[in-house]
Every structure is written in C-alpha cells, then in structure tokens.
Structure 1
C-alpha cells in the first residue's frame, strides 16, 4: 500500500495528536496512582467497569512480566519506526491519524517503562469472573491504531490508500 496523496507528510496534526494522547495518558495515570493504592479497585459501573490500579511490568495482556528493560528498549525502537514511517506516508490523513494514535500510545507507555519500570494500567472491564485485560489510555490508542491498520490492509480504498503495483 502507498499513500493516496503524495507530498510532505502532515507533521503538525501528527505531532499534536500524539502529544495530546501522551498528556491524557500521563494525567490519567498520575490521577489513578494518587487516588488508588496498587491493586485498589473502585467500581464505576458495578462489576462491568472498574478502576483497578495495576503495575504491569510486562507487555500487552500482562504477558512477559518482569521484562520492563527489554520492552523499554523495544518501545524506543518502535517509536523511531513510527516516526520514520509517517515521514514516508505522504499527505494521507488516515495514516496521519493512525500513526499519531500509535505514536502517542507508544510514547505514553514508554515513559512509564523508563521512569517506573512498569506501565500503570487502570481500566478494568468485564462481566462477573470474566475480566478483560486491565488497560490505560495509551493501550486504547494503540489498539485503535492496530484496528485502523488492519482496515487499511484489508480495504485500502476505505483508508484512502491504493494497492502498490506488483
């Protein structure tokens, strides 16, 4: 896939979106760490939605716990790749949005890993004993960006993309 519109990438909206996500992510994490003790739980919508302060030293879904240093390094590499890819994506608003979401989420979680050695997670959704993984603003943005990338891969026309010539 290549960008539908060529030319210089849309840097201001990309940077503004990523920065806004980082600020929202860090502000909500600071709030939750001041409001709850680790593993503290506050119901919002009964058992369906709770605030649960967890310290995730692993990766998505709590995998690879205790591996903060390798994930911090990997996060920095991913951040560089996102910025470089955006620089090559042309003037495609869809990719600017998608990569801005991805960058903001990656930076938000990288700040935690580098500063704390773990990522602060706090949104806990589920029904009864079935709980989804606990996540944060950065994780939400990363998940949305991955969904948008899948849409771009499956339906390039919807994403303002065109198929690359073979």
Structure 2
C-alpha cells in the first residue's frame, strides 16, 4: 500500500512539470486566459520569490531552505512510514517541494499559472496545491492523533 503513495507522488510531480511546460509554451508571460469567468484564470507568471513574490530574487536562500526542507521531509517520511495518513501528507509535501525546486534549478524561477479571480490570492501551480493539501493532511492526522491519545 505504501508504494501507491510514492507512485501518486511521482505522477503528481510529472503533472506539475507538464502543466508548467504547457502553460509556458502556450501562454505568453503575463497573459491571462479566463477558464471560468470571474472564478479562475490561467496565466504565465515567472516567480523568483515565494507567495506574492515575497523575497523575490533570493534564489540562494530558496535553494538552501528547500534542501533543508527535503532532508527533514524525507527523514519524517522514513520515521513515519508505518502511519499511512502521515505518509500521504509527507509525500504530497515532498512532491510540491520538488516540483518548485526543479523550476528554481532549471529556470531560476517558478512557473505559476492558476489565478483566483474573485479575491486577492497568490497565483499558484500544481506543486503549490500538493504542498497545501499535504500540510492539511498532516494537520488532520495530528489533530486526530491528539484526540485518540487525549
């Protein structure tokens, strides 16, 4: 069963890179294409920072923090391998971290494309979704475990 999460992680990493490639090759930088009017659009944004371009241009910082994060995440994955819900959360977080790290190494920026149109929210990508869902899964697992122990 553990291998299924690894396969899903690899498939999501591939999806992230394919979507980034397609957006980069089909949509000009800064161009916006409505998908669901007033809800979500596709764009091609080159982000060399974090959300909302925070810390823009600090690639060395992002390289270092990503390597440290991956080491910690892989260590946690190894130590929590018997707990499937933790494993799923960690695999998703590793997938998202690797997806954006590949961009930073290869392109020196991260390709973002999903734009929420009805409120101010950072433009994001598949890797960001994996990271966010992974954090939520871990949060639920921790809360669940505290209830069982408490």
Give the root-mean-square deviation of aligned CA atoms. 2.0
What is the CA-CA distance between 1:81 and the residue it aligns to? Answer: 1.4
Q: Corresponding residue for 1:89?
A: 80
SS in 1 for 2:145: coil
Q: Corresponding residue for 2:131?
A: 142
Q: Bigger relative contact order, structure 1 or 2, given CA contacts below 8 A and separation 6+?
A: 1
Matching of residues 62-101 of structure 1 within 5 Å: 62-101=53-92
Moved more, 82-91 or 31-40: 82-91
| Structure ID, larger Rg | 1
- Unaligned regions of 5+ residues in structure 2, if any? none
- Unaligned regions of 5+ residues in structure 1, if any? 1-8
Count of aligned pairs: 150
**TM-score where L is the length of structure 1:** 0.82
1:22 and 1:105 in contact (8 A); partners too: yes
What is the CA-CA distance between 1:151 and the residue it aligns to? Answer: 1.5
1:19 and 1:104 in contact (8 A); partners too: yes
What is the CA-CA distance between 1:157 and the residue it aligns to? Answer: 6.4
Aligned counterpart in structure 2 of residue 156 of structure 1, from 126, 141, 145: 145
What is the CA-CA distance between 1:14 and the residue it aligns to? Answer: 3.7
Moved >4 Å (runs of 4+): none
Q: Corresponding residue for 2:4?
A: 13
The structure with the largest helix share of the pair is 2
